[in-house]
């Protein structure tokens, strides 16, 4: 065999091993009810849950707890999934920047007893995808 063939086979083998390792880490999108059912069955695989933050009539987030002085690595909030099921989510990291302005949230993690423990939080902010008008104030020149 030529040296180029051996290198090609090694590259293919490495690519296959990378694909297999990432495929085993893949998780599925589920509502909280299915995440709870999986946890009760003993399935501890990570899942994605899509939801919106619970807000009151004035638009303030309800159930959010974060005190960086007390514990900067504890952040909890209430998320409402696509089936309108409310669930307390705990994230053992600092609160993500712009969390308060987020419209939709995707969390990755698993149910542990009565709370969902998130490993990752992905924020979907519509303000990032729309063009904002820039207001220019005219000042009187001297």
CATH for the stretch 27-128 = 2.40.50.140
26 Cα distance to chain centroid? 14
**19-56 pLDDT, tens per residue?**
877 665 556 788 999 989 988 888 878 899 999 998 88
- Residue 72 burial (CB count, 10 A): 12
| CA 35 vs CA 24, 50, 92, 93: distances in Å | 18, 12, 19, 21
Tell me if 89 sits within 8 A of 77, measured CB to CB: yes
Which residue stretches of the chain are H helix?
3-24, 32-40
**54-82 pLDDT, tens per residue?**
888 888 888 899 999 999 999 999 999 99
List, in order, residues 6 or more apart from 31 with CB less than 8 Å away: 49, 81, 82, 83, 85
pLDDT of residue 126: 64
């Amino acid at each position: 065999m030529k040296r180029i063939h051996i290198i090609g086979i090694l590259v293919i083998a490495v690519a296959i091993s990378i694909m297999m390792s990432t495929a085993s880490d893949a998780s599925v999108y589920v509502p909280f009810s299915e995440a709870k059912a999986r946890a009760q069955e003993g399935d501890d695989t990570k899942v994605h849950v899509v939801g919106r933050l619970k807000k009151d009539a004035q638009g303030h987030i309800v159930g959010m707890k974060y005190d960086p002085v007390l514990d900067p690595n504890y952040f909890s909030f209430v998320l409402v999934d696509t089936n309108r099921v409310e669930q307390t989510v705990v994230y053992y990291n600092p609160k993500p920047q712009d969390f308060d302005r987020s419209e939709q949230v995707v969390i990755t993690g698993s149910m542990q007893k009565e709370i969902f423990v998130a490993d990752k939080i992905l924020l979907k902010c519509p303000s990032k995808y729309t063009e904002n008008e820039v207001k220019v104030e005219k000042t009187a020149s001297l």
